[in-house]
Homo-oligomer: A and B are copies of this chain.
Amino acid sequence: MRYELYYWSSIQGRGEFVRLALEEAGAPYVDVARRKNGEGRMLALLGDEALACPPFAPPFLKAGKRIIAQTASILLFLGVRHGLAPASDTGRLWTHQLQLTIADFLVEVHDTHHPIAANLYYEDQRPEAKRRTADFLGSRLPKYLDYFERVLESNPSGPTHLVAARLTYADLSLFQVVAGMKYAFPKATARTARRYPHVMALHARVATRPRIAAYLESERRIPFNQDGIFRNYPELDR
């Protein structure tokens, strides 16, 4: 069975967390919206009144007849199927809990450049974006990174992975968070990186995994750009 991933064709966004899991798993998938007329197909499915379990928004994944939405929920589903989460219930829920904290972080990163409305341009909310980003970099970012550093440090199996002794989708997602921060806030990230040695080492290590490295080099990886969650506005990066 080939999965069908539905997500906006021009950005990494939340879809990227699913892409990374599919790539690491070596699971066959089609990135539907990047095909010809694909975004139209995605929007048609999103508006399909016949669906009993409709998605609220992309990303969503079609697995046979099932359609699963919400990034963390998709990863919960894929993790079990592809060995990207522990086999035990306790381990799975812990991995998922970490993913939900990453999901919270992503909302906050997005709102640094869109504190007033996703419907408005950045240029229409620039002073507000500056204030919000100052709080984000000064207070929220350290809170999250302190947390993930602590989780790595506290892992009884050692600081190589977030959960136990094997790679999970939470590791892939934390890799993506660091990659995004390096793109969006290179100065702020460089300045604080030494406070988070385990987080930074995890990022570097995930990037060298054969399938991830191949993916990052491929055209399947959409470059970071100014339409995604992570955007580089130098005036915000202090």
Interface residue A9 (Cβ < 8 Å from any Cβ of B): no
- CB-CB under 8 A from A97, the residues of chain B are 53, 68-70, 73
User: Smallest CB-CB separation from A150: which chain B residue?
Assistant: B54
**Chain A contact residue count (CB 8 A cutoff):** 43
A95 to chain B, nearest CB (A): 10
- CB-CB under 8 A from A151, the residues of chain B are 53-54
Residues of A at the B interface (CB closer than 8 Å) are 49, 51-54, 56, 66, 68-70, 72-73, 76-77, 90, 93-94, 96-97, 100-101, 103-104, 107, 111, 115-117, 119-120, 125, 128, 131-132, 135, 139, 144, 147, 150-151, 154-156
- Most B-side CB within 10 Å, residue of A93, A97, A119: A97
User: Do B150 and A128 touch across chains, with their CB atoms under 8 A apart?
Assistant: no
User: Do A76 and B93 touch across chains, with their CB atoms under 8 A apart?
Assistant: yes
User: Smallest CB-CB separation from A131: which chain B residue?
Assistant: B116
Contacts A/B (CB < 8 Å), 7 sampled:
A49-B154, A56-B144, A66-B90, A107-B107, A117-B131, A117-B139, A125-B131
User: Smallest CB-CB separation from A47: which chain B residue?
Assistant: B150
A88 to chain B, nearest CB (A): 11
A9 to chain B, nearest CB (A): 21
Residue in B51, B132, B144 whose CB lies within 8 Å of A154: B51
